[in-house]
Structure 1
Amino acid sequence: MTLILPVIMAGGAGTRLWPLSRDSMPKQFIALLEDDLSTFQATLLRVKGAPFLPPIVITNHEFRFIVAEQMQAVGVQGQIVLEPERRDSAAAIAVGALLASRVAPDAVAVALAADHVVENAAAFRADAMVAAEFAATGLIVTLGIVPTAPSVAYGYIEAGEALGDAGTKRLKRFVEKPDAATAQGYLDQGFLWNSGNFVFAAPTMIEELTRFAPDVIAAAREALDGATTDLDFIRLDGRAFGRAPRISIDYAVMEKTQHAGVIAAGFDWSDIGAWDSIHEVMDKDGAGNVLRGPVVALDTTNSLLRSDDMLLTTIGLTDMVVVATRDAVLVASKSAAPHVKRLVETLKQQGRPEATEHLRIYRPWGWYQRIDIGSRFQVKRINVKPGAKLSLQKHFHRSEHWVVVRGTAEVTLDGSVSHIHENESIYLPIGCTHRLYNPGKIELELIEVQVGSYTGEDDIIRIEDIYARA
């Protein structure tokens, strides 16, 4: 049996699922469906156990602690590689292939996106094992998807002659996302959707990148050779990685190589690239609606309605998407849902923080959420995991007042340590050196009131930090 090394790409932004998915917490780390797992966690579990080896996860450095925490939550260990910036899939797969050739030279690799939904994990594993046998002979095998409709959201693959009797065929050509009429023609001719998931031997991918995208593989090799170890993470050299052209693996290699095969996958798949895709894969009520959260819908059909907090009510809607978070609401027709990315770009141009940041911001020690903000104050809710510790720090422009509402806080204030219990508080004057630690067995929650001339996050001088951020 051929060993398979998963290379999971988990660095995307997922802006078409705004306002739920944003740069600060993109869709692959959010529990979008009914199983309370993120798609990243579902991907990890899909490739857990023989013949799959512990995965290589390639992600943006901003997500490193989220990745580590979600891997720990599902009991998966692996290597986490940090990209200093996004350079598209060719650079990520180049790094994955190079690292795979060093850590598992006898295995083949499977490159997977962390934000896809696969309904039948057993069928996926069976297809991956078939693809691995052909990849071991020098082919780059794409997992093609049998289309269920003439979609204009996906690229298509034309398969050629059969390669043996295991269902794998020569890959004849890739075609870009078509218009509706062309998509129907592709469907009639038996084309497959391009899932963007590939199985390959590392030397084959390295050789093809060297032939067709030498700048990509050279930058990836230099970035990996110059990588440093940061806690449990492999941090790629930023200057070298930044020289990699921003190009997808489809354009860089797959549209040019003569060593490509395709297998028609036996599992149901979606890249959940937009809200209309979410509506397609989720369970619906008798009126064709997907309802999540505090939602009341009257005379509403074939719509997706989701609220994280506030009551959401609708009357007389058809084929609509309404998504409400604590600080933003999206209202769109399902047909316009794939264009949400354009809306997010407009919000960024207007300088709206909601375009990229959630009210709840995750940190390695837990999270904080803004409750209110004014010209000289800010109020936050802070949650610290058991055993977690914030950095030893100080501020030049604000004082802080902490009120514990749950758990016990161990507070270091200018070298003096005290324990603050529920319904107790402590004052931290401007310029003091302080640290917060949760010594208990339950989560610590407190309300922080900041007062001063400036309350921005960049007024934090870290003196010592167990997460190597000082």
Structure 2
Amino acid sequence: MKIVPVILAGGTGTRLWPLSRNSLPKQFLPLNSNYSLFQETLLRAAPGAEFADPVVITSHDYRFYAQRQAQEIGITPTVILEPARRDSAPAVVAATAHVASQYGPEALVLVLASDHVVLEADKFRASVFVAARAAALGNIVTFGIAPDRPRTSYGYIDVGEPLAVEGAFKVRAFVEKPDAATAEKYVDAGYLWNSGNFVFPANVMLSEAEAFEPEIARCAISAVEQAQVDIGFLKLDPAAFEAAPAKSIDFAVMERTTKAAVVKGDFTWSDVGSWDAVYEIGTADDAGNVTKGPVTLLDSAGNYVRSDGPLVAGVGIENLAVIATEDAVLVMPANRSQDVKALVAALKSARRNEVESHNKVYRPWGSYESVCRGERFQVKKIVVEPSGTLSLQKHHHRAEHWVVVRGTAEVTIGESVKTVNENESVYIPMGSVHRLANPGRIPLELIEVQTGSYLGEDDIVRLEDIYQRV
């Protein structure tokens, strides 16, 4: 029986601002390699002899990221859409119910967070196979990680007696995130970090959820039974799913079941929940600096410095975290990483757009990037992927000028449809119904100049849309 991976990909990751933002959260970003964390997760359990095609559960906002990034690495998942955020328990139960309907009630399910880093994929898979053998005995098995030092940002597992499967143990207790002194006691006593990833038979998880959280189980299963397929995605029934209480799978099931087991993973693992965690998985130079992107440091030590935009240069700095993007720079003592969440909350209260999105914004058809903005005008670079089509739309407050710099554009204005080639331009009057499409085989790149009294993205009236965004 193949193991069915279920990838949880609906989180936001605010502690990794300014890189991770609401419109493009950390699981879809490359933190430790050329692949995003989501892609690395898929590759660790890629379809083959041991693993079935994965099931991804994410939000409506991230559905095209999940689909496209999976396709980029040659994997075709079933993508389930949550109508609302209800924490991990309803998501796990819904995905498990779907797996049971497709593969049978005894199917083995591997639940993985999409935003964790695992550095030794082979060791990880070896642990999964041990966990699968233990799960086949009727257990819900989690992966415990041996602490390298006391940490207050992780939950802990008190390991109990061994099971019949070598390397697997009963869980005596799950312990919430401790204070520093308690964490030190846990490490001395041999507790493990709780990685929050699981293997279990589908029927065992469903029966335990029904026993401990019958309302979550009822709502999640009903949402799957009434789900609808929409342009390739499986949309859970909104009314049923939104009625489910919001609760984590740890609180709902794992901390209450008598069937919890643990396998000790000897792979390097991190939930990369903060910038100090990102520093720890990086490769430091002789002075203890971890850098990424255009960064130059002189007489500096113990820093994490990353730039996804401008050159960052430092002289005589120590124990700082500096993260630069095209539109925001974060500077803080390295030991204040846990405070980023509070900073993001303050920026959100101030209605700063930098909390929500980057200069470059991804859409199902491609992307757009703000190049320059002033009073009554804005310049954007727009990229439309082959066969990509924007919605048929109009604007009440702005006109647009498009200049094609690469590829071929198919432009609809009212009843007219024309082809616009490289080095040619077209004008879209205010209020005109229009559409842009790429009929070619290479990406279409164009420069858009917007002029008008209001240039916000909410001045878009969609009339038709192949991505169902009307």
Q: Which TM-score band (shorter chain)?
A: over 0.9
Q: Alpha-carbon deviation of 1:461?
A: 2.1
User: Structure 2 matches for 1:50-129, cutoff 5 A?
Assistant: 50-105=49-104, 106-129=106-129
Whole-Å separation in 1 of the counterparts to 2:398 and 2:133: 61
Are 1:173 and 2:173 matched, yes or no? yes
Q: Deviations over 1:239-268 (max 9, x none)?
A: 222222221111111111111111111211
- Mean alpha-carbon deviation: is it higher for 251-260 or for 378-387? 378-387
For 1:87 and 1:345, locate their aligned partners in 2 and report how far apart those are by CA, in whole Å. Answer: 20
Shift of 1:224: 1.6
CA distances 1:365-388 after superposition (whole Å, capped 9, x unpaired): 100112233443322111111221
Per the alignment, residue 3 of structure 2 pairs with 4
| Aligned ranges 1:434-449 → 2 under 5 Å | 434-449=434-449
Matched, 1:29 2:28: yes
Q: SS of 1:161's equivalent?
A: strand
Q: Which residue is equivalent to 1:41?
A: 39
Q: CA deviation at 1:57?
A: 0.2
Who is 2:222 aligned against? 222
Deviation of residue 339 (structure 1)?
2.0
Q: For 1:196 and 1:204, locate their aligned partners in 2 and report how far apart those are by CA, in whole Å.
A: 18
What SS is found at the alignment partner of 1:456? coil
Alignment of 1:56-455 (within 5 A): 56-105=55-104, 106-455=106-455
Report Cα offsets for 1:279-299 as digits up to 9, x if no partner.
111112121111111111111
Q: Give the superposition deviation at 1:165.
A: 4.8
Distance 1:304 1:86 in 2: 32
1:396-423 superposed Cα distances (whole Å, 9 cap, x missing partner): 2221111112222121222222222222
Using the aligned pairs only, state the percent identity: 52
Q: In the aligned structure 2, how far is the partner of 1:165 from the partner of 1:243? A: 39
Counterparts of 2:296 and 2:120 in 1: how far apart (Å)?
Answer: 32
Which secondary structure state, in structure 2, belongs to the residue aligned with residue 337 of structure 1? Answer: helix
Structure-2 separation of matches of 1:168 and 1:294: 45
TM-score, reference length from structure 1: 0.97
SS of the equivalent of 1:69 reads helix
Q: Which moved further from structure 2: 90-99 or 403-412? A: 403-412
| 3-state SS of 2:390 partner | coil
- Supply the distance in 1 between the matched residues of 2:316 and 2:181 (Cα, whole angstroms): 31
Distance 1:257 1:165, change over 3 A: closer
Alignment deviations for residues 105-158 of structure 1 (CA, whole Å, 9 cap, x no partner) = 142101100011111111111111111122122110011111111111100000
Distance 2:373 2:30 in 1: 29
- TM-score (normalizing by structure 2): 0.97
Q: Deviations over 1:68-110 (max 9, x none)?
A: 1000001111210011221111111111111111011142101
**CA–CA distance in structure 2, aligned partners of residues 291 and 406 of structure 1:** 34
SS in 2 for 1:43: helix
Q: Secondary structure at the match of 2:79?
A: strand
Equivalent residue of 1:77, what SS? Answer: coil
Residues 270-326 of structure 1: CA deviation (Å, up to 9, x unaligned): 111111111111112121111111111111111111111112111121111000111
Give the letter aligned to residue 101 of structure 1.
A
Deviation at 1:343, TM superposition (A): 0.9
Q: For residue 202 of structure 1, report the CA deviation from its aligned partner.
A: 0.9
Q: Which runs of 4+ in 1 moved over 6 A?
A: none
> How many angstroms does 1:341 deviate by?
1.0
**Partners in 2 of 1:369 and 1:278 — Cα distance?**
27
Aligned length, in residue pairs:
468
Cα distance between partner residues in 2 of 1:135 and 1:398: 59
Give the root-mean-square deviation of aligned CA atoms: 1.3
Shift of 1:41: 0.3
Q: Which residue of 1 aligns with 2:18?
A: 19
The answer as to whether partners of 2:17 and 2:340 remain within 8 angstroms in 1 is yes
Looking at structure 1, the residues matched to 140 and 169 of structure 2 have their Cα atoms a distance apart, in angstroms, of 11
Is the Cα–Cα contact under 8 Å of residues 134 and 165 in structure 2 kept in the other structure?
no
Residue 38 of structure 1: how far off its partner (Å): 0.4
* More displaced stretch, 108-117 vs 394-403: 394-403
Structure 2 SS opposite 1:261: strand
Is 373-382 or 395-404 further displaced after alignment? 373-382
Amino acid at match of 1:458: D
- SS where residue 351 of structure 1 aligns? coil
* Separation (CA, whole Å) in 2 of partners of 1:239 and 1:302: 51
- Matched-pair contact (CA < 8 Å) for 2:387–2:440: yes
Consecutive unaligned residues of structure 2, counting only runs of 5 or more, are: none
Please give the secondary structure, in 2, of the residue aligned with 1:234.
strand
User: In the alignment, residue 190 of structure 1 is paired with which amino acid?
Assistant: G
Q: Please tell me the residue identity of whatever aligns with 1:413.
A: I
Q: Bigger CA drift: 355-364 or 55-64?
A: 355-364
- Amino acid of the structure 1 residue aligned with 2:252: A
Deviations 1:177-232 (A, max 9, x none): 11222111111111000000011111111111111111211221222222221101
* Structure 1 stretch displaced more, 236-245 or 191-200: 236-245
SS at match of 1:87: coil
